[in-house]
Amino acid sequence: MYNPHMPDEIDLASAMAAFEAKNFSLAMMMLSPFAETGHAQAQHLVAIMHQNGLGVVRNELAAYKWMKTSAEQGYGLAQHGLGFMYMEGECAPKNLQKAKDWFQKAADQGLEGSIAMLEYLKQSE
Amino acid sequence: MMKNSKKAKPIVQLPAQQPIVTIMVNEQAVMQYDRNKAPSKEQFDYIDSMDKQMDEGVELGGTLHKKPDPIVKSQFVAQHLLMALAAKNYSLAAAMCTWLSERLPELIRVQATGSLTNNMKVDLVFARQN
């Protein structure tokens, strides 16, 4: 059923393309409605843009909010990103246990970077 | 009590520091940095470590600079910022942007033109140029 308030797949593809083309201001504008409606990948990309000041001024709180929302939906890259935030104390208070927990969730989905980070954290204990 | 308590005007009027630094690639704003939001201790530590590494020498445009001056360092960091963007290493690009914004207080814009994957022309625009 057509819902004028629900962004469609064509818009999502255009929003992703804008991100890939590094047109971050446009990507932020186009991805935000998807993030608001619960699209995990859009939430992750919006988090990355807020975290690094891409197309917008850096906003740690917004970065953390969207990364966590996406991670809690089970999006692997966001779980890895949230693990990194806790490990580095960037956008979130430093918490190595939480970092491990989120890296583990991402590793369980097969993310090699997260498996490597878990190994690194174990070695540095 | 002093009757004449008016502050003397400074002889040289320095331009006020601009809070926002924008990284433009082909006339498109890609990154923004707000100087009003102070970097964390970790971020300051990181840009300090960048300085230490650069003080050991950098290669820019095929020339080795054993003791790079601030201009060479700025160009080197700006080039690496663009390389990080091309490689989608956005956290590294953000660190480079932090270095440029914090070490060059009058910088307002980095203007890059060309292709991110090839040699780009990079201009640093300062407040006093406007």
Per run of 10 residues, the mean pLDDT along chain A (length 125 residues) is 58 94 95 96 98 95 98 98 95 96 98 96 89
* Token couple for B16: 């006020």
**Distance, CA of A82 to CA of A98 (rounded, Å):** 9
pTM, full prediction: 0.83
Which single residue is written with the structure tokens 């160009």?
Answer: B75
Q: How confident is the model over B2-54, as pLDDT tens digits?
A: 455 555 555 655 556 679 999 999 999 999 999 998 888 888 999 999 999 99
Q: How confident is the model at residue B119 (pLDDT cuts 50, 70, 90)?
A: confident
| Adjacency order of strands within the sheet including B20-25 | B28-34, B20-25, B107-113, B121-126
| pLDDT score for A2 | 47
| pLDDT score for A7 | 54
| 8 Å CB contact between B84 and B29 | no
**Distance, CA of A55 to CA of A30 (rounded, Å):** 12
Q: How confident is the model at residue B129 (pLDDT cuts 50, 70, 90)?
A: low
ipTM over 0.90? The verdict is: no
| pLDDT score for A99 | 97
Burial of B21 (0-12, 13-18, 19+ CB in 10 A): buried
* Token couple for A116: 């490597």
Which single residue is written with the structure tokens 């939906």?
Answer: A73
Is B30 an 8 Å CB contact of chain A?
A: yes
Q: How far is A4 from chain B (nearest CA, A)?
A: 30
| pLDDT score for A1 | 44
Cβ <8 Å between B28 and A22? yes
What are the chain B neighbours of A58 within 8 Å (beta carbons)? 32-34, 37, 94
Q: DSSP string covering A79-100, please? A: HHHHHHHHHHTSSS---HHHHH
Is B94 an 8 Å CB contact of chain A?
A: yes
Cβ <8 Å between B32 and A57? yes
| pLDDT score for B73 | 96
**Distance, CA of B17 to CA of B103 (rounded, Å):** 12
**Distance, CA of A74 to CA of B57 (rounded, Å):** 45
| 8 Å CB contact between B68 and B76 | yes
Q: Rounded mean pLDDT of B101-105?
A: 95
| pLDDT score for B118 | 75
| pLDDT score for B7 | 55
Q: How many CB atoms within 10 Å of residue A2? A: 5
Cβ <8 Å between B31 and A25? no
| pLDDT score for B1 | 47
Give the number of A-B residue pairs with CB atoms closer than 8 Å: 49
Is B100 an 8 Å CB contact of chain A?
A: no
| pLDDT score for B4 | 52
Percent of chain B with pLDDT over 70: 85
Specify the range with the lowest mean pLDDT, choosing from A106-120, B16-30, B56-70, B76-90: B16-30
Closest residue on chain A to B86 (Cα): A22
Which among B33, B34, B42 is the nearest to A90, CB-wise?
Answer: B42
Q: Which of A76, A14, A83 is nearest to A43 (CA)?
A: A76
